[in-house]
Amino acid sequence: MATEKRRAAGGSPVPRPTPSPASEADFLAQTGVRDMLREAVLKLLEARPEEPVAFLADYFEKMGQVSGDGRAVPGDQGSHLPGQQRFGRAMWYLRLAHHSQRTAFNNNLNIAYECLSAGGKKRMPGLNGKSYGELLRRICREGDLPEEISSALLKKIQCRDHEAVPFDVFRYGVLTCFVMLEFMCKADTLFTILDGPSQADQRLCHAVLTTLEEALVASDLCVPASYLEAGSKLGPDCLAVVMDGAFRNNDPSVHLSRREFLKEASVLFLDKVKPVQ
């Protein structure tokens, strides 16, 4: 009986206070959720997407990429990811905001640049011409830019594979690609309005192309106010006057195909692009 009491006494641990559960704020801070939510809200406010819920769902799916120890990394920019995944992460950031949203787009450009510049096991940190060129090609492919047009564009803005690409060059190249994609989309819409889905009156096409050229001459990526002048040249009233003048021309009607129209439109844009030195 005494032995059992001694065993009971010896086996009884000294009572310890039960740790109090962490408060809600401490829990959010310790798990990194607070920082992740804050960053998500900031990105949402920057991008201002048409479908906020879908944006947040896609955002958290991308942010769910895990590090080597299996934990999600709030605010991570993809430095631990393999090369192809870094391209995917960079493209995702570049699509978050339209290039007209200067502040948001520039912030996302910085993140994409840092993501692609992250050094892997076999290369030094910094963005080289090879990775820069691959990103530009991806932008053109995802925008369905015809190969002959994208090749002509890349000849002007890409760098040599071994060259280091500074951020200013990166920004210029990426922005130029996005602006050209939008320009070609607008040109395609204009062609559809001119006539049918495959051919349009050549007189109308050349009149509209001349107006496009005048708008491009008036526009300047570095001068936001110039877009007002360019936009006025492409307004319905201005285009109506130009098209009416083309119809008054008594030359025999000749048709222009969509492919020919878009090619001529692309030449107008490419003439405006300054080559990367």
Give pLDDT < 70 ranges for the chain. Answer: 1-22, 46-47, 50, 62-83, 119-125, 195-199, 217-253
Query: pTM of this prediction?
Result: 0.68
> What pLDDT score was predicted for residue 74?
41
Measured from the Cβ of residue 252, the count of other Cβ atoms closer than 10 Å reads 7
- Do 173 and 163 contact (CB within 8 A), yes or no? no
Best CA proximity match to 161, nearest among 127, 128, 116: 128
Distance CA 18, CA 12 (A): 16
Q: Residues with Cβ < 8 Å from 140, sequence gap 6 or more? A: 150, 153, 154, 177, 181
Model confidence pLDDT, tens digit, residues 5-26: 555 455 555 555 555 556 777 7
Q: Tell me the per-residue pLDDT of 239-267, one tens digit each, with 9 for 90 and over.
A: 566 566 655 665 656 778 888 889 999 99
Q: What is the pLDDT of residue 79?
A: 47
